[in-house]
Structure 1
Amino acid sequence: YIPPTSVSQLPTNYKEKYVAERIAKNERFAKTLDKMGKVELADSIRHDQSILVPESFNVAKTWTEYLNRLMGAITGVLLIVLVVFSFVYKRVAKRIVVLSILNLLVVGFQGWLGSIVVSTNLMAWIVTVHMLLALVILAILIYTYNYALGLGQKPVVVMAKIWWLKLLIFVSIAVSVIQIVLGTEVREAVDYVSKGVNVVIRENWLEEVGKIFSYHRDMAIIVLILNLWIYREVKDKFSGKQALLIGNANGVVLLLQIGTGLILSYFALPPYAQALHILFSTVLFSLQYYLFLLIYRTTTYNQNPN
């Protein structure tokens, strides 16, 4: 299926048809939430009036969504291939097989959830769950890769005690995840302002968002401090090792992430910077998590084994 490039390629009643399909899909989702005991969430979907508002055809949004779904399909195919090849490790590391199958299932669920994100008109909490689930997928992939790579290899040995560094990186990952959640909430608040009844020029959108943007900005300072601290310790204790390479990459991505954040703040939220900001946040999370796995397998040299 190739999406249209002009409204003339759509049926005359495409708006009514799309809204009807959206309502039906959301009702099925609401019934699922009812069965899970999430009655309030289900009602919020049923009574969301924005879902009833038809959207005019937008070729840019249409093709962006098409490419997003296409990439999702390609990801699914690649994960199927990964599952097939994972059976090479069936006898020596069943965990790899289990994780590969698990990730395929999670990606399938993520694809379905993505369709719910669209049909619910980017409902706030669903967007957040969708983003967090993407991080889970990345984490499973990275863990599986690191586990397979480490089979039969001896752990790296360093002279210094690093248990506290492991804890520090773990805290940094947790803070980064919180920062990502805050970022999705800022994005949702910006959407609300941009679609509001009162006309607000783009340059003033962030001013109308409220405290959530301040929290997101302040949390960025904490992320910066933690990662600079981690980089200093990794550089000091892991010179010439893979952990240092990941630490260097982590520092570069962090600077790019901060740079795109500044562009968003001072240049009226340009769309390209929004996409890059999200991209760098996920890359930063991935590098932090991989660094944690590398440090986690590291042991401290014991000078008195007896």
Structure 2
Amino acid sequence: RSTGSGMGCPDWPKCFDQYVPPTSASQLPSDYKEKYVAERVAKNERFAKTLERMGKAHLADSIRHDPSILLPETFNVAKTWTEYLNRLMGALTGFLLLILTVYSFAYRKTARRIVVLSILNLLVVGYQGWLGSIVVSTNLMPWIVTVHMLLAVLIICILIYTYHYAKHLHKENSVIMAKLPWLKGFLLLTLLTSLIQIVVGTEVREAIDVISKDLAGAARNSWIAKAGSIFIEHRNLAILVLVFNIVVYKMVKDRFNGKAEPLKMANWIALTLFVQLLSGFALAYLSLPPVAQAVHILFAVLLFGIQYYLYLLVYRTSTYKQ
């Protein structure tokens, strides 16, 4: 995303009809642009018909009449190989989850939930791979990119929950003296706010993509200003996320001590949030440096993942009753 390489490979699952992509435009047929546009249109028509059968006629129409789908992609070796490596990482994730699913059957008699979660995550990753092909065929249509991002977060959440469940399978719930209902409720609110922030951040990224295309990559220092109200919303939500996490940190510090795992997670949240804020400032005031874009996306998801794990830890902690 940060390198703008989402369309580096105009087809899926291969890249320019090859398992190993080309390194030069001379390796492609002269009409490659028209060829892949035609393939995209045909695939999108099939997807649009599927949406219509699901009762989503307005979404189907938006795909059929999106002019960006007809825009050909010029071969760029750097973007092609960046996207190709991204796909290889996706494939590796799928294989690792397949191995995880196989190993999960060791728990089929003692903890079937682990088996079910592992199979579920494997299915979600498979669907995510298919949706990735739709992202390509629709030329990075905004709402599909957002769904693609949310599915990635869901995959991470299922993994975190599976890990937490397996780790604490034979352990008693923790018991502390402090009361926890307020912390549990506020953690849920913070999680929801962070998730909304990720969605809004994706929309900011989509707006920046449009501006970048319109300006042909020039005048980078003006992109933020041209993004409009969506960037303002993202910035305001960032302040809210910061405040909520400070409150969570204080509540955890007040209720846990020593080497308690929730306290460690709270410290990780503080560190992750610090890096996230730094990358956000860099994006806003240093003309969107690509490295900061990658860091910002990465740490946004890391922050959400740590918050979710903290919630799971707190959820299985009870207040001591005399």
Aligned to 2:180: 162
TM-score (norm 1): 0.96
The C-alpha deviation readout for 1:95-120, integer Å capped at 9, x for no partner, is 11011000000000001111111111
Q: How many residue pairs align between the two structures?
A: 303
- 1:120 equivalent in alignment to 2:131: no
How far apart, in 2, do the equivalents of 1:132 and 1:237 lie?
32
How far apart, in 1, do the equivalents of 2:78 and 2:43 lie?
24
TM-score (norm 2): 0.92
Which residue type is aligned with residue 295 of structure 1? V
Q: Comparing 199-208 with 140-149, which one deviates more in the overlay?
A: 199-208
How far apart, in 2, do the equivalents of 1:75 and 1:282 lie?
16
Aligned to 2:287: 268
How far apart, in 2, do the equivalents of 1:4 and 1:244 lie?
50
How far apart, in 2, do the equivalents of 1:124 and 1:264 lie?
20
Aligned to 1:133: 151
Q: CA deviation at 1:270?
A: 1.3
The C-alpha deviation readout for 1:28-85, integer Å capped at 9, x for no partner, is 1111111111111111111111111111111121111111110111111111111111
Which residue type is aligned with residue 281 of structure 1? A
How far apart, in 1, do the equivalents of 2:217 and 2:192 lie?
37
Aligned to 2:9: none
The C-alpha deviation readout for 1:164-223, integer Å capped at 9, x for no partner, is 101111100000000001101111111112222799611011111111100000100010
Aligned to 1:215: 233
Q: Comparing 5-14 with 248-257, which one deviates more in the overlay?
A: 5-14
- Give identity over the alignment, percent: 62
- 1:281 equivalent in alignment to 2:283: no
Which residue type is aligned with residue 242 of structure 1? E
- 1:298 equivalent in alignment to 2:299: no
- Greater than 6 Å deviation, 4+ residue runs: 197-200
* Candidates 44, 67, 77, aligned match of 1:49: 67
How far apart, in 2, do the equivalents of 1:148 and 1:69 lie?
29
Aligned to 1:245: 264
Any unmatched runs of 5+ in structure 1? Answer: none
How far apart, in 2, do the equivalents of 1:125 and 1:17 lie?
25
Which residue type is aligned with residue 124 of structure 1? P
Q: 1:248 to 1:223 in 2, by over 3 A?
A: same
Decide whether the 8 Å contact of 1:193 with 1:200 is kept in 2: no
Decide whether the 8 Å contact of 1:30 with 1:43 is kept in 2: yes
Which residue type is aligned with residue 261 of structure 2? Q
Aligned to 1:8: 26
* Candidates 15, 28, 41, aligned match of 1:23: 41
Q: Comparing 126-135 with 2-11, which one deviates more in the overlay?
A: 2-11
How far apart, in 1, do the equivalents of 2:157 and 2:270 lie?
19
Q: CA deviation at 1:150?
A: 1.1
